[in-house]
Structure formats: structure tokens, C-alpha cells
């Protein structure tokens, strides 16, 4: 398709209010292969006629995500020289100013493009926009600045020089500090970019610590909705963690009283980070607290990591430093995050460990399965989670499955490949429909009844049918290809085995069998 034609087609797609025109595949595929000059031309058109083209904010977000992905790909590709692959920074800044009022995620992708380009003009524009009109939340800022984690030292130096001593919005502070801390810890920068502002950082830590103390005492004063209070808590915790790490790396002993105060907060992660900073500054109370925190599964992994980095790990009991103890900590920390349960489990118990090849890794990985449980007023909630190659737990209860199938469920869920996917029955083409009919007959031959096909699944060239069935009078979910099949009982329970789990087990069995035999 000619240059002008595909840009015109993209604009028509953005402008259309017809839901039938909502399919973005052709547009996004063209973006994924477009040179920077064409992408710049597209964005110039979008900025010039923004009001008309940005009515469908979801489509604009998809488009900007694709453009950002393309530019990140190009700027990371060694075959391209640094000249001639940039989108004009002024064009991007103008578009950002328009998008930030419409869709924060789309606007963040504009900043992501500037960060990926890494030239002087782009970094200057990025620093200016981050300082003056940043995205509303630190997650969007993290997306915007993500390319800088792979940036060269010169680019990082230049970016922080552009920020200099200017005002930094609270939403951006945590991410900027994390970036600075990473640059120092990885050796990309010899001096912390915020070293000259350590007193300012200490004062900010004292203020946020005071806010968290009030939040612990009376959460209601920070909002009437749980979501609002949780957002305030999460933002404050993220900032405190970053501030503690920065003050430790800057090595300003004047921060010790503030860090000691912060270490008294009840939040385990904050205690760990404050203790780590104090230990780095040579304060014995921080070192002692890290030794104590290693006994807590949620805090253990980071406490041990700090103790090893600062060379006093031998003071922590050896059983707490063993691989399975650190894996237990990994899962406990994951379960305690707000997207999961939001609190640590009551208990965890190792039920299996093995070293095996795992999807996505070239070398064998140590894998750990843990039974975990929560004691709630309404009763016990328990399940099985994995740590090692991936940290995860399903809502579906896996406790009664064979251990091999539990591993298979996680492996099949974790696997990503362009030839591993599924197509819902309503979207099958005629050829796929014929394949589904053949496999449905196979399920019938296996004495399964009440067959309701759900999807045709594809696994590295092998085709299988996923279906709800009745087997031996029990409602089940089955999947079959030309070689094998599996079936598991299902129910209406919230923690029942789902079709997604059955599909994951089916794929995971094949993957682990192929990798490890």
C-alpha cells in the first residue's frame, strides 16, 4: 500500500464510529513495518486534525502503542544507525500535549518514543514534559521511561541534567528515583544524579512517613472509598521505597534519623527498604532489623539480598537462605500484592521441587510448588502456587491434581509463542470448521456427550478442540487432538477447574514432556 494511502486508511479507521470498522489488524500490521518517516507523517496528520481523529480514544491508544513498539524496536536494532530514524521531537511534544487530556496511556506511549530515541532533542523534550505535565500515575510514568533502563550512560546523564534541580511532580518522583538508583547500582552512573538534593529527599521521606503513620491510624481521613485509600497507600509506599534506596546509595548520614523513624512503620516492605538503607550507611539497627525480617516469608527475599550485598548474610540463619526458602518468599510476596490477596498467606508448605526445562528458558530451572492457605473469618482458603521460573497461582483449585499436572498447568499458561493460540468457535473459517467437526466426532467416539465446542486450539502445528462435555454423567471440560485427549470435571464453583486451565494442562504436558524426555 502506498505511503499516503495507508495513512489515509488509518485516519479513516480512527475517525469511523462504526463498530464493524473496529478491527485494527491491518492498520497495526502496517505500523509494525513502517519506517520512522512514515510514522512521523502519520502523527503529524493526527496532531493537525486531533479533534476529529481522537474521538475513539481506544483506537488512538492502540495506534500509539503500536507506533511506540515499532520505534523501540528500531532504536534497539543494531543495523540502524543513530541518524535518520527519529520522529521529530516537536511533533511528539505537540501530540503529547493533546493526548494527555484524552488518554493517559496513549500519551505515555508518546513519552516512550522520546525516551527510546535518546537523542539530545528528544531527551530534553522528555524531561520538560515529565516536569511540566506528567502522566497522572507512576505506572504510566514507568511505561513512559521504560526505554531509559537500557539507555547508554551518556543518555542517562543527559536526561538527569535536563531535569536538574527543577520541580518534580509527586507522580514521577518514585520512577525517576528508581531509574537513578538502577543507574548507580548497575554502574552506568558513578554518582547518584540526586546526590545534591539529598536533604530535599530526606525532608520528603519524613513528610511521606508522617502521612503513612496517619494512614495506619485512621485510613478514613484519606477517602471514603477503599479504592481511593488503597491508591493513596500504594503511591506513598512506592515513593517511600524509592526514597529509602536513594538515601542509602547517596550515603548521606544525615538521613539516619529519618530512616530510623521510617523503619518503625508497620509495612514490611518499607521496613526492609529503610533497614537496607540504614545498613548501607553503617547503622547497626538497620542490619539487625534485616536479620529479623529474614524470618518473615514476605520480607525474606529482599532482606537476604541486602544482607548478601552488604556482606553480613552469615548472620541470617542458613535455612532461611536456602533456595526453597527464598522461593517461598517469592510466592508469599506475590500473594501479598494488591492484585492478588493483598495480605500475606497464613502459611506455606513446600510440596514439591524439581529441576527441569521450562518454556522460555534455555537452561533447566529450579521449580517449587507450595501449598498456601489463608484463615479468614468465613473459613480457610487454600491452593497451590509456583515459584522459580514464574511466580503464579490460579483461582482454580489445583490441590487435588497430580503434581505433574500442576506443573503442566503453570507451564502451559506461561508459554508464549506465535504458533500457540486459540480461535473461538464463532470466528472459525471454513477449513477450521471442518477440523473442529472431525475432532468433535472423536470426542463423541470417546463416549462423551452433550458436547459444546468452545475453541479450536493451535499448538506448534497441532490442532485440538476444547469443549464442554458430559462424561460418565459428570459435567466436564475436555480437549482432544489426533493423538491424545484429557478431561477434567467442572462445576459452578468459583474455584472450579476452568476450560483455560484444561487447555493449559494439555499444552503444558506436551511442553514439559518434550523438553525433559
What's residue 360's pLDDT?
93
For residue 224, pLDDT over 70 is answered with: no
For residue 1, pLDDT over 50 is answered with: no
Residue 10 lies inside a defined structural domain of this protein: yes
The more confident residue out of 366 and 29 is 366
Q: Are residues 32 and 149 in the same domain?
A: yes
**Number of compact structural domains in the chain:** 3
Across the strands, what pairs with 471? 448, 474
Residue 13 lies inside a defined structural domain of this protein: yes
Q: How far apart are CA 211 and CA 216, in angstroms?
A: 9
Mean pLDDT to the nearest integer, 182-196: 94
For residue 78, pLDDT over 80 is answered with: no
Mean pLDDT to the nearest integer, 495-517: 95
Torsion, CA 4, CA 6, CA 11, CA 13, rounded to 10: 160
Q: How far apart are CA 65 and CA 260, in angstroms?
A: 43
Q: Are residues 10 and 115 in the same domain?
A: yes
Residue 398 lies inside a defined structural domain of this protein: no
**Residue where a domain terminates, one of 193, 216, 246:** 193
What's residue 68's pLDDT?
92
**Residue where a domain terminates, one of 168, 193, 218:** 193
Q: Are residues 354 and 487 in the same domain?
A: no
Mean pLDDT to the nearest integer, 319-340: 96
Q: Are residues 94 and 150 in the same domain?
A: yes
Question: Residue holding cell 530526606?
Answer: 202
Q: Are residues 469 and 354 in the same domain?
A: no
Residue 511's pLDDT band (boundaries 50, 70, 90)? very high
* Reported pTM: 0.84
Instruction: Let me know how long the chain is.
Output: 517
Residue 404 lies inside a defined structural domain of this protein: no
Mean of pLDDT over the chain: 91
Which of 347-351, 410-414, 441-445 is the least confident region? Answer: 441-445
Residue 475 lies inside a defined structural domain of this protein: yes
Residue 198 lies inside a defined structural domain of this protein: no
For residue 380, pLDDT over 80 is answered with: yes
Q: 11: which 3 cell numbers?
A: 485516519
Mean pLDDT to the nearest integer, 54-79: 83
Q: Are residues 167 and 128 in the same domain?
A: yes
State pLDDT tens for residues 229-271: 777 788 888 899 999 999 999 998 999 999 999 999 999 999 9
Task: Tell me how far CA of residue 6 lies from CA of 40, 45, 66, in angstroms.
Answer: 13, 12, 15
Give the residue from 290, 208, 282 showing the smallest Cα distance to 252.
282
Residue 288 lies inside a defined structural domain of this protein: no
State pLDDT tens for residues 468-493: 999 988 999 999 999 999 999 999 89
Q: Is 90 helix (H, G, I), strand (E, B) or coil?
A: helix
Q: Are residues 387 and 507 in the same domain?
A: no
Q: Are residues 381 and 436 in the same domain?
A: no
Rounded percentage of the chain residues whose pLDDT exceeds 90: 70
**DSSP states along 178-242:** HHHHHHHHTTS-SS-TTGGGHHHHHHHHHHHHHHHHHHHH-GGGG-SSHHHHHHHHHHHHHHHHH
Residue 233 lies inside a defined structural domain of this protein: no
What's residue 354's pLDDT?
97
State pLDDT tens for residues 92-145: 999 999 998 888 889 999 999 999 998 899 999 999 999 888 887 778 889 999
Q: Are residues 389 and 482 in the same domain?
A: no
Range of the domain at 128: 3-193
Q: Are residues 441 and 382 in the same domain?
A: no
| DSSP designation for 379 | E
Q: Are residues 347 and 443 in the same domain?
A: no
What's residue 171's pLDDT?
73
Mean pLDDT to the nearest integer, 374-387: 96
Q: Are residues 67 and 157 in the same domain?
A: yes
What's residue 84's pLDDT?
57
Mean pLDDT to the nearest integer, 216-237: 77
Residue 456's pLDDT band (boundaries 50, 70, 90)? very high
**Residue where a domain terminates, one of 193, 221, 245:** 193
State pLDDT tens for residues 267-316: 999 999 999 999 999 999 999 999 999 999 999 999 999 999 999 999 99
Amino acid at each position: 500500500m502506498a505511503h499516503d494511502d495507508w495513512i489515509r486508511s488509518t485516519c479513516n479507521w480512527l475517525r469511523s464510529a462504526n463498530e464493524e470498522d473496529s478491527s485494527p489488524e491491518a492498520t497495526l500490521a502496517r505500523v509494525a513495518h513502517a519506517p520512522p518517516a512514515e510514522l512521523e507523517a502519520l502523527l503529524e496528520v493526527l496532531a493537525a486534525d486531533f479533534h476529529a481523529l481522537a474521538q475513539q480514544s481506544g483506537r488512538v491508544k492502540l495506534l500509539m502503542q503500536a507506533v511506540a513498539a515499532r520505534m523501540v524496536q528500531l532504536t534497539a536494532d543494531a543495523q540502524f544507525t543513530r541518524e535518520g530514524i527519529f520522529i521529530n521531537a516537536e511533533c511528539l511534544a505537540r501530540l503529547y500535549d493533546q493526548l494527555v487530556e484524552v488518554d493517559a496511556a496513549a500519551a505515555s506511549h508518546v513519552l516512550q518514543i522520546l525516551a527510546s530515541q535518546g537523542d539530545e532533542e528528544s531527551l530534553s523534550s522528555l524531561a520538560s514534559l515529565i516536569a511540566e505535565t506528567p502522566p497522572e500515575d507512576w505506572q504510566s510514568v514507568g511505561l513512559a521511561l521504560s526505554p531509559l533502563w537500557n539507555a547508554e550512560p551518556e543518555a542517562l546523564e543527559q536526561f538527569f541534567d535536563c531535569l536538574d534541580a527543577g520541580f518534580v511532580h509527586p507522580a514521577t518522583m518514585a520512577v525517576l528515583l528508581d531509574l537513578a538508583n538502577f543507574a548507580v547500582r548497575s554502574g552506568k552512573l558513578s554518582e547518584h544524579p540526586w546526590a545534591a538534593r539529598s536533604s530535599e529527599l530526606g525532608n520528603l521521606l519524613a513528610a511521606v512517613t508522617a502521612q503513612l503513620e496517619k494512614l495506619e491510624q485512621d485510613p478514613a481521613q484519606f477517602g471514603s472509598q477503599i479504592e481511593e485509600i488503597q491508591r493513596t497507600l500504594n503511591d506513598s509506599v512506592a515513593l517511600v521505597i524509592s526514597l529509602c534506596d536513594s538515601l542509602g546509595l547517596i550515603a548521606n548520614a544525615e538521613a539516619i534519623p529519618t530512616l530510623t523513624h521510617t523503619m518503625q512503620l508497620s509495612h514490611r516492605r518499607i521496613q526492609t527498604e529503610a533497614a537496607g538503607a540504614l545498613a548501607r550507611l553503617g547503622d547497626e539497627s538497620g542490619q539487625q532489623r534485616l536479620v529479623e525480617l529474614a524470618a518473615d516469608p514476605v520480607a525474606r527475599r529482599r532482606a537476604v539480598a541486602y544482607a548478601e550485598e552488604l556482606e553480613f548474610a552469615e548472620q541470617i540463619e542458613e535455612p532461611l537462605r536456602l533456595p526453597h526458602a527464598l522461593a517461598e518468599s517469592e510466592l508469599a510476596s506475590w500473594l501479598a500484592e494488591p492484585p492478588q490477596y493483598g495480605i500475606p498467606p497464613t502459611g506455606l508448605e513446600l510440596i514439591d521441587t524439581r529441576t527441569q526445562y521450562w518454556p522460555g528458558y534455555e537452561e533447566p530451572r529450579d521449580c517449587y510448588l507450595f501449598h498456601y492457605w489463608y484463615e479468614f473469618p468465613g473459613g480457610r482458603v487454600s491452593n497451590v502456587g509456583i515459584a522459580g521460573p514464574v511466580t503464579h497461582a490460579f483461582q482454580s483449585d489445583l490441590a487435588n491434581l497430580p503434581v505433574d499436572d500442576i506443573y503442566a498447568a503453570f507451564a502451559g499458561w506461561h508459554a508464549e509463542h506465535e504458533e500457540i493460540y486459540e480461535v473461538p468457535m464463532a470466528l472459525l473459517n471454513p477449513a477450521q470448521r471442518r477440523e473442529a467437526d472431525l475432532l468433535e466426532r472423536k470426542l463423541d467416539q470417546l463416549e462423551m456427550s452433550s458436547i459444546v465446542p468452545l475453541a479450536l486450539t493451535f499448538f506448534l502445528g497441532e490442532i485440538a478442540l476444547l469443549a464442554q462435555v458430559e462424561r460418565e454423567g459428570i459435567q466436564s471440560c475436555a480437549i482432544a487432538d489426533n493423538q491424545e485427549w484429557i478431561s477434567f470435571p467442572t462445576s459452578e464453583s468459583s474455584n472450579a477447574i476452568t476450560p483455560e486451565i484444561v487447555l493449559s494442562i494439555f499444552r503444558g504436558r506436551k511442553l514439559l514432556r518434550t523438553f525433559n524426555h
